[in-house]
Structure 1
Amino acid sequence: MAENTANEIKSPEHLSTVYNLKHDYYLREGNYQLALDNYKQHRALQDSVKGIMEASNYMDIRLGHEQNKSSLRMRQIEANIKMEQQKKRLITLLARAIFIVSAIIIALLCYGYHLRKRSNKILKKMERTRSDFFTNITHELRTPLTVIQVLNRQMQQKKDLTDKEKTAFRAAIDRQSNNLLTLVNQLLDVAKLKRGSEEPQWKQGDVVGFLQMAAETFRFYASEKEVALMFYSDLDVIEMDFIPSYIDKIVSNLLSNAIKHTDAGGKIDFVVTHEQCSNTISICINDTGEGIPQKDLKYIFDFFYQSQETKNHSGTGIGLAFTKMMVLKMKGKIEVESELGKGSIFTVTLPLRNKKASHILPLNEDERSFSALSANNEIFTESYKETKDMDNEVSTVNPLVLIVEDNRDIALYIKSLLMYKYNIITARNGKEGLEEAERCIPDLVITDLMMPLKDGYQLVSEMKQNRLLNHIPIIMITAKATDVDRIKSLSYGVEAFIQKPFQEQELLIRIENIFENRRILKERYMNTITRSNSENKLDNDANLEFLQIITSIIHSEINNPELNSSYLADKMAMSISQLSRKINGITGYSTISYVLKLKLNKAKKMLADESILISEVSDACGFYDASYFSRIFKKEFGVSPSHYQKMPTLIS
């Protein structure tokens, strides 16, 4: 049974043991033959097992050797892999280092490039600013010098000047001299303030009264431009340590700028506030002017800086920078808020007490002279005469003449010939001339032919096609005096063609003739309007067509007491001043006077019917008060409404 089991499991060792046991058994039984056979099988199996064991040992040794070789190879491979990994890591680190260094180098190069570009931009800006400053300062200096020179030459050459003319010429020279002196003094003040070479004179006194005097000094000039200037203070008296000359110039610069950049009908609030918590005073000047672009606000207090939006205003670019310097000298601060088209707010904050001043004297009444303000106002007045934007009550004493000339000397010479008989505005090219014409609606335009941006032909053509400007007569002055140019100019619609150089009397006579012809034409227009029914079509004339439109609007609202220039300007898509200048240019009346003229003419027609009450006529024609209507009617027609109603046929 054991033999069968050994055979089943195929175990030579167990089978060899079985045969050895059987050998021992048959040997004890005496069966030597079976004992021998089993012994042989035992030995054979034992040798087989031994061979197998030896083979197994050999295989074990071989496998162990191979395993050792494999282990050694694996270790070598691992070492190689590790070395490769280290190489790759080193290469990666090196690549990263190279990349980082390259990035740093590129960044430095880019930074250097941008820095150089920025530096070049700053240098160019500084150069442009410096150039603009010298250009502006040259213009500011040259203008009064040229006017002084021209007027002085005329006084020397013209022996027949009247005492009145001589007085006017001397007054102009004196005014221009003061302008020149003020500008030079301002430049010197800036230099002194920068060097700190002059010790400021601190005084103690009522700053509210001091500032209120400043507001009053400027109030006349603001009213001349039809700008409302209002002064407010939360306290009647504020005792303060301040430098009068600095406050003088600060207020002068801020108020003159506010008035210069505020159109007719605008408002300027001058507000003084005592801040108890910080023991400071706040001076706020708030205007409804043209405003400052946001991009310019951070540069507005830089020396020589001028906004591109306001380049048409004359100036040196030092006023606000000088103002900031003076504010800082008094340990204060100045801030600005502005929105283009809505206005600006300049706020100056100053401490009430100056701790560092060793000795502060009381403010004397004599020190409230506002010399800088007065001088600055003379500059402002002169500038304002050139840019005056007349509103609904247009002055008819002195017609407004626009001189469009790129040669400043010639423009100044023409201006010197006309400035005492006419209000003058100037433009340096056709583009600027068209803008000024639309803004001011002049009574006459004198233009050169050869100009940058737009020449004289383009200017004349665009004016004649513009409903706002087509009534304005134009004189062409040019060095190009061929027959072709003369005929072409006349075909464009100019009233007169004058060759350079020209005799001043020729220009003056031409202007007088044009205005006389215009006066006759205005009378014809008014007769046509007042004698025609507003519904009838008039002659094919652009000016009459314009009057027909505005007259129809007035007649439709004639019983409205609130009918005013603003309403009519909105209806005609014009500004109040543009409408007033347009109506004045065609009829010789301001907007309000023209409306009143139409109301009175309608009243005169209604009074022809004796059954209508005068109060009914007054209401129908838009008058608040019948007694006021009677006074106006009598002033216009020489008789009261009641007398006229009794004898209408006797009144022309």
Structure 2
Amino acid sequence: GVWVDNVTSLPIHIEPTFFETIWAILLYIVIGIAVLLIVIYIVIRITNLQRRVDFEQQLSNLKLRFFTDISHELRTPLTLIASPIDEVISNEKLSDAGVENMQVAKRNTDRMLRLINQILDFRKIQNDKMKVMVEQLDVIPLIMKIYENFTSMAHKRHIEFQLHCNLNSFVMYTDVDKLEKILFNLLSNAFKYTSNEKRIILSVTGEKDHLYLQVKDEGRGINAQKINQLFTRFETLDEADPNLSTGIGLSLVKELLNLLHGTIKVDSKLGEGSTFSVRLPGNYETFSADSNVEFILNDSENSELQRENDGNLMEDEDKETRILIIEDNEELRHFICNVLSKDYVVFEAENGKQGLDKALAEMPDIVISDIMMPEMNGIEFLKRVKANSNICHIPVILLSAKSSLSDQIQGLEYGADEYITKPFSSTYLKAKVDSLLKQRQMLYDYYTSKIKREKITNLTDQIESVTPQVTHFDDDFIRNILQSVEENIHNLDFKIDDLAEAMGMSRTVFYRKMKSLMGVSPVDFMKSMRIKRAVQLLEQNQYTVSEVGYMSGFATPQYFSKVFKETMNCTPKEYKLKKHADELKL
């Protein structure tokens, strides 16, 4: 417990390791700075690459947009080539050589159209806008039709073209348009690289829910090392003649097969030929889970019945039917006018603004309008027409080079009655016009039959069942006519001019609109309404025939009896006695 001073100290010095020296600290700082610089460099590099990628993507989109616009523009001159050719082949008397020359022109026009459509298809696929329209059908007739398209080419080139198919029928779910493009491109590719006097075999087999197609040729063959590049877009593997192919067809086949959940395999030997094997699923479950698939109804079974019904509904059209053509391309406009002027009275306009003025002045029965036009385009014209109570009843057919389903749906949503893509057949256009006229005639017949069969007080209620086929302006127009006539039906001085004034229209505009919308002239319409009122009064058995005539708005009993007999096939007195006898029997 006593402190002493015998303490000895031992100093110890420990040498620091390298990692603890100032040099190590400096090294750490240098490494940190270097890492930071590398990170900054990488970030800048990635940013620049992204910018370059974005720039290249924008440049690529501009190029594709340019090619797409060019393709759209080519559709109009193609229409001016294809439609006159169809007209000449169908209606003109030509020599055998002339028919053959026109057939050659038609085949090459169709080929140009297919090439343009391939470019447009690539654009839609790249933008994920290619919809798959799946329907259930028998694909064997389609394959036979495609096979027959190549038989004439095989005959001319002395190629032995064979079809091996032991199936009479094979029903499956698929997209008809895409299946046709796949098989057409494979056969076109086979004929392109197969020399004369060789052989091409198309084999078709089916197993459960899968379709197997095989195209085998005896062409040049493909180097095994380059088979992997076969489906690359714009890649041409033909070193002998690189201009023979655009490198589009097989790439499009691959893309379309991916959309249809199919596969393709290639077996080729250089100098011996190639075999392309396609496997396509055809069951509903394959497509039901695909959000890009839209199922459409297949009405092929009712096609014969539909054609028969259409034949029964056909009525001779006279030259009173008026059609307005709105097209900024002068040649196409004149061609359409020439095609339709044989059967209809045709007016024409260069743009939507002129077309709107013509529609208001001439009150046509149908309008055929292009979409892309100066001053006022087709969509704006359509909006103006459907918003104008005087002309909103006129059916409108839109013409456009935009053939995608979304563009067609957009046109129909704006109120178009039909949407026709360029190029189109003149026969197809005339069929669409006839179809619209028949549909309008059916609507007219419905209204007039209601006027003849139903009580006047119930006519307004009956209109509601057909109003989806007309605009709300036309619905109000019909309701106002019915109400105005019913309120003044006993008035002997109530004339057509008074009815037109009540509708806020001139006599001419009122007459044309009523004739177009309801299928009867205003005079006949008022007669029908007066006769219906007379029938009601006669059935009440409280008034004499003369009193009923005056109460129904007829000036004299004699004129009333004459009109009543023309409509009801009996005199008012006979009708009254017959109705009374029927009531006694009951």
How does the TM-score come out when normalised to structure 2?
A: 0.42
Please identify the structure whose Cα radius of gyration is greater: 1
